[in-house]
Chains A and B, each alone.
Chain A
């Protein structure tokens, strides 16, 4: 009996409490999308076209669920291994800023459409899943949004988004590789920084 109690105690200690309240990936995508779309609909500043406010909302609500280091590493491919720790940090930072801006533009353009959240086709034990969402538009085929997500110690994190079958991460690969070939990793950091600066002015 004592042994059993000890075993139970051990189990309680080992099993992290987070498991019990962990949000499944498809529910997470649905909740975050609906919350953000709702915030945008209610916010007067965003409605009036404030890009800064929209970016702030995305940073607060959406960013925590993305793994930008993984995204940057995937977009860099082979070149990631050649980058120093400092370069990796800078690349991730600049790429993150660019993706957030792009995401903000896309949201501003499509937030009034209806969303169709598809049931998750994955086993409970899977640690790498794709969550499918469709944006319904009148008179056209729905646009598919596929979130590639990985299970981590801090919950499910997105490491790629496919828009209409186009993977964002894969799409930056050639661009990144071309720039690194022409002007090195520092050249790529410089280009990304310049790009973000030019978008800030708009």
Chain B
């Protein structure tokens, strides 16, 4: 299976791209190959499973599942805020984790969001690297995970290495949690991906530009220095 995947990536990587190269995306040929693989995987497996998940489980239950994973993420979000020197935000994130893990029953109820000031943040190690001054590097599409950059993929690897679900035993339970996390994430993106489908002339380009803009905005916590469009 792994060999087959590698071959697929290598073959499609050789495809050349017409026209001018975008300086932010020097590996476009390779990326488009992985992109096609991801689209196929999404069309035939990830999206149907996510749709079934939404159809079968009541919204109330799905929100509990999302909250459970969101709560675990608050640990990492807090750690990243500390690494970026935003101590107040970090304390806020860990307070959320403390409240939600206890009063919120292992995180399935997001009680913290009802407290004024205990708002959910969005941080990861890729953003931390950005804060520390690292540029995004070339755009990169990861198999299964989608849009990234060299910087953000490094961040994802670090976040993944330290996230606590990996420690869960037995292995079967850990894998079930991973699977549920993937389906829950895809299900949350169903509306967004449909809108993207409708809005884009060239989905690859539209998604890439949106990703790069979004990451830039996140690194500056939603207030990036204004780029003058003329």
If A102-B195, A106-B195, A165-B222 touch, whether A171 touches B213 (CB-CB below 8 Å) is yes
Interface size on B, residues (CB 8 A): 38
A172 CB, min distance to chain B CBs, angstroms: 8
- CB distance A105 to B63 under 8 Å? no
Main secondary structure of the interface of B (DSSP, over half): helix
- CB distance B19 to A178 under 8 Å? yes
- CB distance A109 to B202 under 8 Å? no
Q: What residues of B have a CB within 8 angstroms of the CB of A98 in the complex?
A: 199
Tell me whether B201 is interfacial, beta carbon within 8 Å. yes
A-B contact pairs, 30 of them (CB 8 A): A77-B230, A102-B195, A105-B194, A106-B195, A109-B191, A109-B195, A138-B66, A138-B110, A139-B63, A139-B66, A139-B70, A140-B70, A141-B121, A141-B122, A165-B213, A165-B216, A166-B213, A166-B214, A171-B209, A171-B210, A171-B213, A174-B22, A174-B209, A175-B200, A175-B205, A175-B206, A181-B19, A191-B201, A192-B201, A199-B198
Tell me whether A182 is interfacial, beta carbon within 8 Å. yes
Q: What residues of B have a CB within 8 angstroms of the CB of A102 in the complex?
A: 195, 198-199
If A138-B63, A139-B67, A141-B121 touch, whether A170 touches B214 (CB-CB below 8 Å) is no
Q: What residues of B have a CB within 8 angstroms of the CB of A170 in the complex?
A: 209, 213, 227, 229
B213 CB, min distance to chain A CBs, angstroms: 5
Q: What residues of A have a CB within 8 angstroms of the CB of B63 in the complex?
A: 138-139
Binding site for B on A (CB under 8 A): 74, 77, 98, 101-102, 105-106, 109-110, 138-142, 144, 160, 162, 164-167, 169-175, 178-179, 181-182, 191-192, 195, 199
Interchain CB contact (< 8 A) of A165 among B67, B195, B198, B214: B214
- With both beta carbons as reference points, the residue of chain A lying nearest to B70 in the complex is identified as A139
Interchain CB contact (< 8 A) of B120 among A109, A141, A174: A141
Tell me whether B83 is interfacial, beta carbon within 8 Å. no
Interchain CB contact (< 8 A) of B195 among A105, A175, A192: A105
- CB distance A182 to B224 under 8 Å? no
Tell me whether B167 is interfacial, beta carbon within 8 Å. no
CA distance A82 to B209 in the complex (A): 24
Q: What residues of B have a CB within 8 angstroms of the CB of A175 in the complex?
A: 200-202, 205-206, 209
Q: What residues of A have a CB within 8 angstroms of the CB of B230 in the complex?
A: 77
Tell me whether B218 is interfacial, beta carbon within 8 Å. yes
If A102-B198, A141-B121 touch, whether A166 touches B70 (CB-CB below 8 Å) is no
- CB distance B19 to A182 under 8 Å? yes
Tell me whether B20 is interfacial, beta carbon within 8 Å. yes
CA distance A160 to B195 in the complex (A): 18
B18 CB, min distance to chain A CBs, angstroms: 7
Q: What residues of B have a CB within 8 angstroms of the CB of A192 in the complex?
A: 201
CA distance A14 to B188 in the complex (A): 55
Tell me whether B102 is interfacial, beta carbon within 8 Å. no
If A74-B229, A165-B214 touch, whether A195 touches B201 (CB-CB below 8 Å) is yes
- CB distance B201 to A140 under 8 Å? no
B138 CB, min distance to chain A CBs, angstroms: 16
A141 CB, min distance to chain B CBs, angstroms: 5
Instruction: Count chain A CB atoms within 10 A of each CB in B194, B198, B200 and give the residue with the most.
Output: B198
Tell me whether B217 is interfacial, beta carbon within 8 Å. yes
